[in-house]
Amino acid sequence: MDQASPEPTRRRRRRIIAWSLVGLLVVVAVAGVWVVSRALIVRDQLSAIAHLRTEVERSVEAGRIAELGPVVARFEAHAHEASAAAGDPVWRVAEVLPFAGPNLTAVRTVAESLDNVSDAVATPLVSLVDRLGGGLLHDGAFDVQVIGDAHEPMQRARGVLGASAAALAAVPRDQLIGEVASGVTDVENLVALLAETVDGLADVSGVLPRMLGSDEPRSILVMLQNNAELRTGGGITGSFAELRAEAGSLTLVRQADSGEFSDLAAPDVAIPASTTQLYGDIVGRFVQNATATPDFTLSGELASSWWRELTGREPDTVISIDPLVLRSLLDVTGPIDLADGQRLSHDGFVKQVMVTPYLTLASPEQTEYFQGLTESYFDALLSSDAPAAAWVSSLKGPIEQGRVSVWSRNDDEAEALSGTALGGARERHLAAGDTAFAVYLNDTTGAKMDSALGVSVGTAVGSCRDDHQPEVAVRVRLVNNAPADAGKVWPESMTGGGHWGVEPGDIGTTVAVAAPQDWFFAGTRVDGERRSSVDVVDGGFPTSGVEVTLAPGESAEVEMRFVAPTSNDFSPELIHTPLLRAPERLDTAQISCE
């Protein structure tokens, strides 16, 4: 039997291949059209979200969370539709294509992140504020049940924001077109902004109910710091108030000023040698210096020990705040009328509370003034009918700036506070990441001259080493803005009278800079000249310290250098001692190798 001619077979094979190619091209074309149609849907939805995102950011930054309900509803609808379109299986297949693929992946990541943020963050946040619409206080007591119920949803929201931040950070930017890259950055900024609010709410709602006596009566010691005489955590701890908390109800038990405490070392509290090397023996010797250390656990233990020695009672919780927290809380209380006829409001608050009492009142009168102020605030806060959003708005900034620190004797609560902005300066440093540096300022004048201290901070990067290992120089510029005759015309309560080794009118400051863990010391300069410094590892952080004294009108720039342990790229971050006025930011510069 004759074999079939090979020519028809080849023709059939070619027809099959040709039709297969045509079919493939049709599929690809259809898929392309489908992906384009999906992309147009996503574009329209993300464009709508972009306008809403601006409203969300403004409301969150201003603390007007209660206004977000209608905005979040629209945000949620657009986010769901964008995520559904970008999650299409055909879209996923197209992500493997060169050039277009990375952009499609980035857009999908943005859409999914916005959808997750809408579901797990924005909607629960608005729901929480709606539930607290009647305020945090009922019959003069905090609603500990509602506050505690907020913890679980805020913890979930924190987890979603963390996952979204990681997903967005993992998007490679070098292959993205400008519009897509900009969109990724915008959503990253939104996630970071929401995280600031959610982190604070999660932290506070996790510990506050028990501290307010939801389970059993608690004792709370509040320390008022004074930033006119700087310490690492803010300022000297000169005023104290003991509160009793039971089922959300607070009672003012006793007040005391620093003059009522002995100058003996706090019993049963060991001071690390590194702390003494940096700040002297004042940390454990004088109650005013409880926050000279960045370790607020140590500060809490010291304050608790001193209070037990003074009163025979040991607090369960120690809370440190500064006067700018009180100024912010005026959004909750409204203007406050004091017993002497003065009215406290935002305008002129710093001068009225932080400067004038020390220029015009004798020491006993200062004590009377501040204790009266504490009582007036206490009464005003507990009678406030302000909505929860006002409390969140007023405390958000001070907490982020490190103006509120909390220590608890309870191990579970202490663990919850660790690594948060409420845990004190060192915990803020840890939370800021492994490229963060901390600037700590401690007054050595012995009085309230820091109301006249100007501060600027910044960094310089580069390397002056043969091995080219990266270096960071942290720059701190100080200026004494007091009048030339301050030493003669200002009272001793302002100038210190020279009793602590600083001439009246001058300002003495210990500048300490803590580098990230595992970094190395690389020297200290003051106004460009090398200066010997104290270099110790304090609590795991390499820390350099030097003292600077400035006469009125004088300035100095301190520069402390550190060497990175790796050659990885990084961008240094800065945190600093809470000040009366935000420090100016120096432009990032290149390290000088002269």
3-state SS, one letter per residue, for 464-507: CCCCCCCEEEEEEEEEECCCCCHHHHCCHHHHHHHCCCCCCCCE
What pLDDT, on the 0 to 100 scale, is given for residue 198?
81
DSSP 455: E
The 10s digit of each residue's pLDDT in 159-209 is: 888 888 898 788 787 776 666 677 777 778 877 877 877 887 888 888 899
Helices (H), 2-138: 6-61, 69-86, 89-94, 100-117, 123-131
pLDDT at 48: 53
Coil, strand or helix at 293: coil
State the Cα–Cα distance between residues 157 and 125, nearest whole angstrom. Answer: 9
Cα 497 from Cα 491, distance rounded (Å): 8
Token reading at 197: 């609010």
Distances (CA, A) of 497 to 67, 241, 501: 53, 29, 9
Identify the CATH class of 218-417: alpha beta
pLDDT at 247: 94
> Measured between alpha carbons, how far is 35 from 88 in angstroms, rounded to an integer?
9
What distance in Å separates the CA atoms of residue 510 and residue 18, rounded to the nearest whole number?
82
Give the per-residue pLDDT at 78: 55
The predicted structure's pLDDT at residue 26 = 33
**pLDDT value, residue 25:** 35
Q: Are 355 and 228 in contact (CB under 8 A)?
A: yes
Q: What is the amino acid identity at position 256?
A: A
- Pairing verdict, β 336-337 and 343-344: antiparallel
Is the Cα dihedral 133, 139, 140, 143 positive or negative? negative
Q: By CB neighbour count within 10 A (0-12 exposed, 13-18 middle, 19+ buried), where does 520 fall?
A: middle
pLDDT at 391: 86
Q: What is the pLDDT of residue 72?
A: 57
**Could you state, in chain order, the average pLDDT of each consecutive group of 10 residues for the chain (594 residues)?**
57 49 35 38 51 62 59 60 54 56 68 74 72 75 87 87 86 71 76 80 86 95 96 96 96 93 75 94 90 97 94 96 95 90 89 90 90 92 86 87 95 89 94 95 96 97 91 97 96 93 97 97 96 97 98 98 92 95 91 84
What are φ and ψ of residue 519, in 5° steps? -80, 170
**For all residues of the chain together, what is the average pLDDT?**
84
Do the beta carbons of residue 221 and residue 319 sit within 8 Å? yes
Q: pLDDT value at position 42?
A: 44
**DSSP per residue over 122-172, as a string?**
IHHHHHHHHHTTT-SEETTEE-HHHHHHTHHHHHHHHHHHHHHHHHHHTS-
Q: What ranges make up the beta strands (E) of 156-272?
A: 218-226, 236-246, 249-257
